[in-house]
């Protein structure tokens, strides 16, 4: 099967690399810092108790890293894009409720606890990442490892 590579395939690959790369970077920044720092950032959203925030702070960075690697490499590509999209929707919900409630969130925790943009900036940035995940899901399969082994899921 010698199918012609189209522009949508290149866009899908670029979207996979962008969304996957951002998730790898964000997860690495959180995983390389103290879990307590990220747990505190989670607690500032006031949606989970501190004990659950600590479990999330230990798990979320690694989930982001693995999903980012899978998406960028094109392994379990459609599932990875779907799960990244679901995570981004969850993040958007957290950001939106913090904006609406006017919570004093000094660090969103998106790229670790050390630095942060405004919640509005992070919200818009996540919309672009959500669009990239959608493009990856729709058009990212042809130039993926999944396509090399015949798995189109």
Q: What is the largest CA-CA distance in the chain?
A: 56
Per-residue pLDDT reduced to its tens digit, 37-70: 899 989 999 999 989 999 999 999 999 999 999 9
Task: Give residue 93's pLDDT.
Answer: 95
Give the pLDDT score at 84: 97
Any residues with CB less than 8 A from the CB of 121 and at least 6 apart, and which?
none
pLDDT at 87: 97
HSE (CB half, 13 Å, CA atoms) of 76? 10
Write down the pLDDT at residue 130. Answer: 97
| Alpha-carbon span 68 to 80, nearest angstrom | 8
Question: Chain-centre distance of CA 59, in angstroms?
Answer: 13
- Which ranges of the chain have pLDDT less than 70? 1-3, 113-115, 146, 150-153
């Amino acid at each position: 099967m010698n199918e012609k590579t189209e522009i949508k395939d290149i866009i899908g690959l670029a979207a996979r690399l962008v969304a996957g790369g951002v998730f790898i970077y964000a997860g690495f920044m959180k995983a390389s810092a103290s879990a307590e720092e990220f747990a505190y950032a989670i607690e500032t959203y006031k949606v989970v108790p501190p004990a659950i925030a600590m479990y999330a702070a230990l798990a979320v960075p690694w989930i982001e890293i693995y999903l980012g690697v899978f998406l960028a490499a094109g392994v379990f590509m459609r599932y990875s894009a779907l799960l990244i999209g679901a995570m981004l929707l969850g993040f958007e919900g957290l950001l939106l409720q913090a904006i609406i409630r006017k919570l004093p969130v000094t660090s969103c925790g998106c790229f670790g606890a050390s630095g942060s943009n405004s919640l509005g900036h992070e919200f818009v940035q996540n919309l672009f990442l959500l669009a990239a995940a959608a493009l990856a899901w729709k058009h990212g399969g042809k130039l993926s490892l999944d396509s090399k082994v015949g798995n189109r899921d």
